[in-house]
Chain A
Amino acid sequence: MTSTTARLDSAASRRVRSPSLIKWGLGIVILALLSWRVITVGVAEGYPASFWVSQALNGLVLGGVYALVALGYTLVYGILFMINFAHGEIMMLGGIAGYFALQVFTAIGWMEGSAALVILGLLLIMTIGMATSVVTGVTLERLAYRPLRKAPRLVPLISAIGASLFIQYSVLLIFGVSPHVYRKPALLEGGFRVGQVFVSYTGLIIFITSILLMLALYQIIQRTKLGRAMRSVAEDKDTSALMGVNVDQVIVFTFILGSALAGAAGVMLGFHNTVVKFNSGFIPGIKAFTAAVLGGIGNIPGAMFGAMILGLIESIGPSALGIPTEYKDIIAFSMLVLILVFRPTGLFGEILSEKKA
């Protein structure tokens, strides 16, 4: 193992050395330009501190949701080395199921009832969304990915793109074009103030829920037997099979975990954006994948931090750089390109990623 690592190290450094000086020079220039822009434009605008804080809070809420989706990408990638391009659609289906569950609970009056009933209803909605996503994810794995496990990289990717389009347009055909509008229960409306900063209940709940789910995932992966099996399969599929790990079962379990998180994210994004429609999983999916790559794909804490950073930059970036908010996607993607130029394995990626990338 050590000799392999050493070889990888030398290979990496050999590839880095020649353009190193230019690269870091360029990096410093870009950083200087950015800070100059932030100081002369962003700070000069004279927004109060509370504005920045509330922007940052928005970013954290969005980042939490991205993190849940990004974890799904990273888990699957860590084990199968494939981009599950349809992961955004798995999330969207969770959101759609959550919408119908919400309609049902609203119709039977739970959403106007006592606080306990509302919370129970919300938990059930979340569970239904997660269950739908899990069913979708597992079916997808069985039909579109498992037959291709031995094929070259491009083949499962194309299959995933096909699956993604298929789910999107099936939803369009089955449920129609009109967006499904989430109506928040009265209990969740509004928020409270901390000093000058307004904190909405929805945002707070989304953030807390996503943190709780991430902690739960971390516990599952670190503490349970299946979690240990997952880690070993991610390390080396063949050797784990020799050690008696059922690789197929672990892969299915990985899809279950990833899809459950995506389903929760879909429901929460529904409450956050208030609408769900056939293509509402696409952009968040790509963003979440960006976040996963940002943190070093295959790396679980990396995905969480990558998503938080992406969320923060997306919400603070436009005002700090003094550019219209329409450019926030450009900021996200440019940041991705820049970070990958300087750290090709992502922010927290190890040298291990060389093998997988």
Chain B
Amino acid sequence: MADQEPLRRGIQIGLIAFAILTYAILIGIPIRLGAAAFPVLSALVALFIFAMLRRPMKGYPADRPAISIIRQAVTAGLIAGALVAALIWLFTSLMADGVRLQPIFDKVVPQNIAALHNVSPGAIANGEVSWTSPLLQIGMMALAGLAGAGLVLLNRSQGADSLRARRIPGAKWIVIVLPFVLMLFVIWLGQPAATFGGAHKGTVRLLLAMITFGSGLFSLRQASQPRERIIVGVLLTAGALYMPFTLDQFQNSVMGLVFIFAMMGLGLNIVVGYAGLLDLGYVAFFAIGAYVYAFISAPFSSPFITQQLINLGIDPNTPLLGFWLAMPVTMAIACVSGALLGIPVLRMRGDYLAIVTLGFGEIIRLFMLNMAPLTNGPRGLLRIAPPAFGSFALGSPRYIFLLALLGAGLIAFAAYRLNDSRLGRAWTAMRDDEDVAQATGINLVRTKLLAFATGATFAGLAGQLYAARQVNIFPENFTLFVSIDALSIIIVGGLGSIPGVVLGALALKGLPEVLRGIDEYRIVAFAALLVIMMIVKPEGIMPAARRKRQLRRDDIPVEESPGPNPDSGAAASLEERSS
């Protein structure tokens, strides 16, 4: 029968939805949602079914009868509902019999299951859950299927891309003006009288501040004529620099961290995005910057340095150099260590490079952890001096944010200029094909070392600011995860794109802070997002024009380092057949 295939697909979707629901129950999502748990999960299933059925099925016309889609979606909903209701009922009856499931599944507690039935946790233990509850759950999931089908039909009647295709007149100006409107709103929210957001006003304001920055980036991109660009750029800069003075301490501290990571991301973007050298140990230079500044400004924390200074007759209790004078020192040391790392890995490519840099990052961290005389081991370096102008200390979150903004701006400007320079073009050539680049007369050794050194310098600067922000630093601040964070920032934002990096930092370092309430789930959500992002939009949120072209060229497979004899045409047709 011709109609079997859509039904089979419906069952498949139902099974996947059931797997997702099981996962959500096992990680304890219902506990957080409370009474709303099951309706929210149903809505999630409806959206999932919509996402799966949105595109026309292979081998079926795009306008197949509505009843076919409805039947398919409701089947999916029923399958998911029946299975999940059975699972919940299993947990319920086990708990009613006094079986404790928590030793195995940490989050399967009466509270969790009670939320799904919308009863009190006590009712679960006493076995007071009515048998109608599972039926209700199945019904809700079937409704979710219906809703999903409705969304599909609605979407279809509007035409697949009618929304995107229709140009709203003046859209450009709306995008350009939006950040300024948002900023005024953020400033107004700072008034004690403003009550928008109620108890969560501070969080809402932080979120809006981030959105303001994000929309500012889009606004800058929309301004096409040079004169417009300058005016918008100047206004946006003025607005951004005013931002620290309107936000409160917590908001400033989060924004400071976001922009420190933006600084780091911009540096890593040079190494990975421009030069194509996959560096998984970037945290090493960040750590070197932080530790060097800590040694300079708090020498008393390090037993070895204290001893040396006493031998030299210098008082170890005062900073050796101020923040500004220390800056060239940290940057120089980070730069040299970047070049030093570069030398051994000159001839490595791709994954070998990744694992060696990863090893280097770990070596640095393990040294910090184990060289107790110099680095004070896991106890860390304490009481690092804040930056100051004369006697005016700039240690509060407000000024750290301001400095991070300035630092990020400086690095972004340097990166922007570098990208268009002779060196930047050499990096691009090297990224696309090392052998061809060498053949056209590019000195690979010099180009690679400069990429590592430049990236490391900027990371060192970010590290110094980070040390000043944290006041106390420990080896745990510099794990592999910092490298992974930085790499994710530039990839989610858009490899090689400067505004993309800032946007990535806002999204990946800022949003989790806003979502403090669901702290436990943020890493899982972030990780899932990373995978989905790579599948759906691998070029990043705000891609560099060039890279977008490369990734979206569907007819030719794109490889970063093609082999000696790539016969792309045959490869493309074969890959298409095999996948």
Residues of A at the B interface (CB closer than 8 Å) are: 4, 7-8, 11, 15-16, 77, 81, 83, 100, 143-144, 146-159, 161-166, 169-170, 173-177, 237-238, 241-242, 246-248, 286, 289-290, 293, 297, 324, 326-327, 329-330, 333-334, 336-337, 340-341, 344, 355, 357
Chain A residues positioned under 8 Å from B557 (CB to CB): 150
- Residue positions of B touching A, CB distance < 8 A: 23, 26-28, 102, 104-107, 272, 278, 344-345, 347-352, 354-356, 358-360, 362-363, 366-367, 369-370, 435, 484, 487-488, 491, 495, 520-521, 523-524, 526-531, 534-535, 538, 550-551, 557-561, 563-565, 567, 570-571, 574-575, 577-579
Does the CB pair A290–B359 fall under 8 Å?
yes
A177 / chain B contacts, CB cutoff of 8 Å: 106
- CB pair A154 B495 closer than 8 Å: yes
Q: Are A158 and B26 in contact (CB under 8 A)?
A: no
B495 partner residues in chain A, CB cutoff 8 A: 154
Report which of A11, A15, A162, A327 forms a contact with B366, defined as CB distance below 8 A: A327
Query: A161 CA to B107 CA in the complex, in Å?
Result: 25
- Shortest Cβ distance from B27 into A: residue: A173
A77–B200 Cα gap in the complex (Å)? 48
Given contact pairs A154-B491, A154-B560, A175-B106, A336 touches B355 in the complex (Cβ within 8 A): yes
Cβ–Cβ contact B352 & A248, under 8 A: no
CA distance A161 to B481 in the complex (A): 10
Question: Which of chain B's residues have a CB closer than 8 A to the CB of A293?
Answer: 351-352, 355
Known pairs A161-B484, A174-B26, A174-B27 / 5 extra A-B pairs, C-beta < 8 Å? A154-B560, A159-B530, A164-B527, A237-B574, A337-B359
Report yes or no: A286 in contact with B524, Cβ–Cβ below 8 A.
no
- Quote the shortest CB–CB distance from A230 to chain B (angstroms): 15
Known A148-B534, A173-B106, A290-B359: A326·B366 in contact at CB below 8 Å: yes
Q: Give Cα distance in the complex from A316 to B443, angstroms.
A: 42
Closest CB pairs A-B (n = 6)? A176-B106, A162-B530, A333-B359, A165-B527, A166-B527, A173-B27
Contacts of A169 in B (CB 8 A): 523-524, 527
Across the interface, A83 reaches (CB within 8 A) one of B349, B351, B356, namely: B351
Are A327 and B349 in contact (CB-based, < 8 A)? no
Contact status B350-A173, CB under 8 Å: no
Give the distance in Å from the alpha carbon of A146 to the alpha carbon of B106 in the complex: 32
The answer to whether A337 and B520 touch across the interface, beta carbons within 8 angstroms, is no
Least distance between B522 CB and chain A CB atoms (Å): 9
Residues of A near B344 (CB, < 8 A) are 337, 340-341
* Distance to closest chain A CB from B269 (angstroms): 13
6 cross-chain CB contacts under 8 A: A4-B564, A83-B354, A150-B558, A237-B574, A327-B366, A333-B363
Cα–Cα, bound, A188→B565 (Å): 55
Contact B575 A151 (CB under 8 A): no
Residues of A close to B104: CB separation below 8 A: 100, 175
Give Cα distance in the complex from A77 to B527, angstroms: 22
B347 touches A152 (CB 8 A): no
Bound CA span A116–B297, Å: 66
Return the contact of A326 from the options B23, B105, B370, B524 (Cβ within 8 A).
Answer: B370
A153 proximity list for chain B (CB < 8 A): 278, 350-351, 559-561
Q: Are A162 and B355 in contact (CB under 8 A)?
A: no
In the complex, what distance in Å separates the CA atom of A324 from the CA atom of B484?
Answer: 29
Question: Would B107 and A290 count as touching, CB distance under 8 A?
Answer: no
Of all chain A residues, the one with the shortest Cβ separation from B536 is A147
